[in-house]
A and B are shown apart, each in its own frame.
Chain A
Amino acid sequence: MRSNNAGCRFGVCQRKTDFMETVKLTINGQEVTAPKGELLIEACEMNGVYLPRFCHYRGLTPQASCRMCVVRVDNPKIPKLQTACTMPVTDGMAVTTDSQEIEDVRAAMIEFLLSNHPVDCPVCDRAGECELQDQTYGFGEDRTRSQYDDKDNYLERQISPFIYNDPQRCVTCKRCTRVCEEWMDENAITVLNRGASTVISAFSGWVECSDCGNCVDVCPTGTLLHVPYKYVARPWDLKQTPTVCNFCSDGCSVLAGTRGENLIRNVARDGRGRTAGGINHDFLCSLGRYTVDFVHSKDRLDRPMIRRGEHLIPTTWDDALQHVAQRLGELKAQHGGDSVGVISAARLLNEDQFTLRKFADDVLQTKHAEYYHDDDEIDLASFFRYGAPTIATQAHLQNADTILLIGSDPNEENPLTAFSIRWAVRQKAARLITVNAMPSRLERQANISLRVREGSEGAFVQALLDDAKLNDAAAALGVKAEDLQAVRKAVAESGRVVVVFGDELRGAAVEALALLESALAAPSAEAADAAKKAYIDALQRQVKSSNSTQKPSINENPYTYIVEHPTLEVGAEPVRTETKFSFLPLVRYSNTMGAGLVGMHSDDKGGMSAHAMINAAGGGIKALFIAGEDVVSKANGEASRVSTQLAKLDFLVVQDMFLTETAKLADVVFPVTSYAEAQGTQVNNGMQIQFVRRAIPPVGQARPDWMVVNQLAKLMGVDFGYQGQLKTIFKQIADAVPGCAGLSHNLLVNEGATQISLPQPEQSKINRADVLERLAGQVAKINRNVAVDAAALTAKAGTRLKQRYPQITQHSEMLTPELPQGVEAAAPAPLVFPA
């Protein structure tokens, strides 16, 4: 544990300040330093003086409405008490925060707030992590003069499938409405009515939004509550495990709240302001937050199953493993190792992928082993062909000067990326350029927004690379040439550029991204030098500060992982890169990057891709070992063809959480763990490797994927040398995988997300002419006569998530909620109280 600062109740604030100007001020007679322009409330907290607050939330617009943080500025020109949350520190300022006068005001504000509060803590889900409780204990009086008949009573009600609202508990700090507006750009919830009747609600009484639930996380009281968490557990009963979300490729950290063997909730920030310290700070999306219930779904496989004729019959692990080992051994002996294929899901952890690869190599001796990916996913092999262009993390994105969004809709598919983009635009005045066929809410933030012809995104890369082909590219994209010229100019003149691209970029266009650096480098030599120097300075400071800060260790207290930076900071030092361009490929799954990195692909060995293996079933492929992937459900419109193919196999092994359509065809099904039960590492789209911590023991008889494979290998006579330890697997990964050298689980636990650095592409090795020619060929194929059907594209937007996570969406009741009776028929009328 980091040392807890005496005055700080919700976290420790020792931010790095050595890169910014500081001012000296006096707090309660003690001279201290603080970053220039910092708000007084933060400056006080940094120096060990905690000021109570409700409405202040770092990073949100100052509000100054709760009046808890009042201080006396010792300056005769300022006769009134001032709110510290709106006052920037200035040099020589002297403030008093602990006088009788100020204590009286704080106690009075608490008394005011409690005068209309139901004080129903025993039945409130927030009790125990409620800021109103904490502030009352810390700063309030032990009695109140308000009487029961002084209170106005409002009914509790549900305002969305995910949110409960109890207006009477509200302190009207409006963190929720600000989060909705500033983080999510949704404005879904707002305040209704006036004065003492003010309530948080939606315009129609029923909240229509993306259900991110951040408003509930930041709520200091029990006004907003998560529906799935309602009356389920008390916060003090929960064990909070920091782990990493398993859904999109952004890789957000979550605090998994567990009680006993049950996963109860996922939050980004608990009521006491603790976060898991991940790249997402205190932000989390709907999928990461509300899909916890699939873990304990009644449909989870709880024991292995083995086929007896038509039926899959539950059996013991020993039987199932023996059977698989024997059959695979026979097939290998009969048809050779290459007759067996191994397919893994891209969401499986590095340790699982690595073990599967090893299993294919050392045990089955097949060259066909690959993580499942569709042809229309980002072609990472092309992207990394000449080396690794600088990969952008969320921090890069938040500090970019220009963000170029090509394809994809991060709002839906990568909510953290969308949040970072919005944050960069709002707080750092970054320039956003969107190039997209489908409508996206991010266009609202864009400086330049190009709505292009579907499938023509490659032409945009061509236009960036080659000024001469700009007019042609504009025709292919279906946009005006001057708009494209404006974009090119903006990108060329800009500082750090982050290119965020989705799977709309295909083939040579992805490969050509590596050429951007040389084509549109810094505008002048001086600027390039200055950027380089700033980068080196920043690196040195980073080294210095990482030497000076004491790192926490997992062994000390892993479950109360309080972090220094619970929220994003505007004043934080910008992350710099060596190159002008950095890239954020929005790959589909949580560990797509990692699966490729640890070698779960057959490119270099000449093996078949996952699709090719399925197509070759019954021919070259006699048996398939499918880990965690429902290949039948994922084959859009081809489900019956894929099942027919799988039926041709001599032997099919599936390991999964649920009896999926694929598992139903299997000869043996192994139950495996979900992300909450698994431990290991995964790599997000920013090439950051993160430690996934086990939050609960495996459900039923489920075992981790790597363990199943390891046991099979042992039965088939090969010992991977794991000694039953995850750490050993990771050691082998660190030794084998480029860029992972020197990493270990312990290090990842301490450091958090660690970016893997791979060698930059060697510009000299790139066959420029060839790439450009292929790109030109690709662009030439675009049908320029196709009219853009805006309505069809709009309908298409927002349908992709369910295709990606069929298992989860099917087995989480929260994603297909049964609304309370009559809710859909008639939404409740907005609450308007008589005056």
Chain B
Amino acid sequence: MTNVLTNRFHLKGAACDIQVYEQHGGYKALPKALKEFKPEQITEEVKKSVLRGRGGAGFPTGMKWSFVPKESKRPKYLVCNADESEPGTGKDRDLMRFDPHQLIEGMIIAGYALSSNTSYIYIRGEYWYIKEILEKAVAQAYAKGYLGKNILGSGFDHDLYVHPGAGAYICGEETALLESLEGKRGHPRLKPPFPAVVGLYGGPTVVNNVETLAVVPHIILNGGEWYKALGTEKSGGTKLFTVSGHVNRPGNYEVPMGYPLMSLINNECGGMLGGRKLKACIPGGSSVPILNAEDCEKMTLDYESAASVGTMLGSGGVIVMDETTDIFETTRNVTHFYKHESCGWCTPCREGTRWLYKVFERMHRYEGRPGDVELLYDLADKILGKSFCALGDAAAMPVQSAIKKFREDFERRIKHNIVQIQKAAD
């Protein structure tokens, strides 16, 4: 199996120390990038690698970088989105706690590519212990001269700060993250202008996921073509997947793009728990549409295949559910999450998620009324595509797909309406 990002994971966190990291091939890419590449060439190399954003949207990273204007009156910024809050996802956590220098090295190279002198790691508030690991690593990098003024004699300056969030899911949305980083309430911003033009403190800003930035040193060392060849034609490289749920060995697994989903479940994860049958799978974190067993057979882990079965690769949080699972309950749980995390900015998301959850609640109590399933579907429809940012869509898609594919789980809640049953008993 190809280990690109996880090739130092077997050290069990020893690579947090800069010397161990250097012994295992660390900080080789940075000198190479500074000496052999011009900033534009790095962006070109990343474009060649067909690296797509690993945070969820899958936007081509090289293209994102090239949107940043060359000349800017205000400073440019690079922000690492480490606010990993998607339910079912934990890949960035391991990337940061087992190999923080890989991320830091990637960020310095990315900063060089963007001619940005300041970068931030916006880390999820609950990852306070990882923040400490990162801060220690940053201090070591400063001490070794990989950060600070005139890095390795190249004349390039770069400062890196670690900033913790305060626990809002919406702050994983890139513009809300920037608002939060500026010290304001975490609300998404109006786009356009996109952050690449007007971002943090009004300066051009690139916001990338941890995994995306951690890949950069490998692309510099081995070339974009090499990275692309690891995966499929349109989705290059490898990706980390967090597998959770009813499997024998849940955890983070790095597999090449285009790897079949069922192989991931059956080989890497050791098959279904207790040998039970697969019922459903959410392939990319709670926000993406759910798959039934039939679709899972068809799906390979790349962006195109995901789209063909009507879901998305998202952040790579694979949630596996066996035949004992009530999909109504899982969807209710997901909806509670979105109701709780909606920031309250726009009408459909604020009121829609609240209303959705209210309906879920009464169905959960077996007090569902005839027409509630249709109501749920229609409410989700009214949220989908009308909300200010993608959180509304993320709340609506799981509901719609679950109703489409597992309608019987929903209908049961109405068929067995407790009020009617009591009436009949009386």
Contacts and interface: CB of A to CB of B under 8 A. Distances in A.
Contact of A115 (B339, B355, B362, B385): B355
Given A67-B387, A81-B385, A115-B351, A195 B190 contact: no
Contacts of B388: 64-65, 67
Interface stretch (A146-154, A392-400, A702-710): A146-154
A191 B354 CA distance: 18
Contacts of B354: 115-116, 152, 195-196
Interface in A182-196: 191, 193-196
Contacts of B138: none
Contact of A112 (B190, B343, B347): B347
A605 interface: no
B386 A193 contact: no
Interface residues of B, number: 28
B351 A196 contact: yes
A81 B341 contact: no
Given A172-B344, A196-B351, A196-B354, A81 B386 contact: yes
Contacts of A171: 347
Contact of A66 (B344, B347, B359): B347
Contacts of A387: none
Given A67-B386, A86-B190, A105-B386, A149 B362 contact: yes
Interface string A511-550: 0000000000000000000000000000000000000000
Given A65-B345, A109-B348, A196 B382 contact: no
Nearest to A109: B347
Contacts of B341: 194-195
A6 B339 CA distance: 40
A115 B375 CA distance: 13
Contacts of B352: 112
A51 to B, nearest CB: 15
A198 B355 contact: no
Contact of B348 (A80, A108, A116, A152): A108
A835 B348 contact: no
A194 B168 contact: yes
A64 B190 contact: yes
B224 to A, nearest CB: 29
Contacts of B345: 65, 172
B351 A113 contact: yes
A197 interface: yes
B344 A197 contact: yes
Contacts of A113: 347, 351
Given A64-B190, A64-B388, A196 B347 contact: no
B149 interface: no
A171 B344 CA distance: 10
B353 interface: yes
A80 B385 contact: yes
Contacts of A67: 346-348, 386-388
A150 B354 CA distance: 9
A145 interface: yes
Interface centre among B351, B352, B355, B359 (most CB of A within 10 A): B351
Interface in A47-77: 62, 64-68, 70
Interface in A139-162: 145-146, 149-150, 152
A196 B353 contact: yes
Contacts of A116: 351, 354-355
B279 to A, nearest CB: 30
Which of under 10, 10 to 19, 20 to 34, or 35 or more describes the interface residues of A? 20 to 34
Contact of A196 (B168, B185, B350, B362): B350
A70 B339 CA distance: 24
A195 B386 contact: no
B386 to A, nearest CB: 5
A80 to B, nearest CB: 6
Contacts of A145: 375
B340 A108 contact: no
Contacts of B382: 105, 108, 111-112
B342 interface: yes
Contacts of B339: 195-196
Nearest to B385: A80
A112 B344 contact: no
A66 B346 contact: yes
B136 interface: no
B64 interface: no
Interface string A115-145: 1100000000000000000000000000001
A86 B388 CA distance: 12
Nearest to A70: B386
Contact of A194 (B343, B375, B386): B343
Nearest to B344: A198
B212 to A, nearest CB: 25
B358 interface: yes
Interface in B322-351: 339-348, 350-351
Given A112-B382, A150-B355, A65 B375 contact: no
Nearest to B382: A108
A150 B340 contact: no
Contacts of A108: 348, 382, 386
Nearest to A86: B190
Contact of A191 (B185, B190, B386, B387): B185
Contact of A835 (B190, B340, B353, B358): B340
B191 to A, nearest CB: 9
Interface centre among B340, B350, B353 (most CB of A within 10 A): B350
Given A65-B388, A112-B382, A150 B358 contact: yes
Contacts of B347: 65-68, 109, 112-113, 171-172
Interface in B380-420: 382, 385-388
Interface in A66-105: 66-68, 70, 80-81, 86, 105
Interface in B251-299: none
A258 to B, nearest CB: 36
Nearest to B341: A195
Contacts of A64: 190, 346, 388
Contacts of A109: 347-348, 386
Given A64-B190, A81-B385, A191 B355 contact: no
Nearest to A108: B382
Nearest to A66: B347
B355 A195 contact: no
Interface string A182-219: 00000000010111111000000000000000000000
Contacts of A105: 382, 386
Given A62-B190, A67-B388, A80-B385, A195 B346 contact: no
Contacts of A197: 344
Nearest to A112: B351
Given A172-B350, A195-B339, A196-B339, A146 B355 contact: yes
Interface in A707-738: none
B340 A198 contact: no
Contacts of A62: 190
Contact of B355 (A65, A86, A112, A193): A112
A65 B342 CA distance: 13
Contacts of B359: 150
A189 to B, nearest CB: 13
A111 B354 CA distance: 13
B59 to A, nearest CB: 16
A191 B342 CA distance: 14
A195 B353 contact: yes
Interface string A824-835: 000000000001
A193 B344 contact: yes
Given A67-B387, A70-B386, A112-B352, 4 more contacts: A67-B346, A115-B354, A152-B354, A197-B344
14 contacts: A67-B347, A67-B387, A105-B382, A112-B348, A115-B355, A116-B351, A146-B355, A172-B347, A194-B341, A194-B343, A195-B340, A196-B342, A196-B351, A197-B344
What are the 10 tightest A-B residue pairs by CB atom distance, in nearest-first order?
Answer: A198-B344, A196-B354, A112-B351, A195-B342, A108-B382, A65-B346, A150-B358, A195-B344, A115-B355, A65-B345
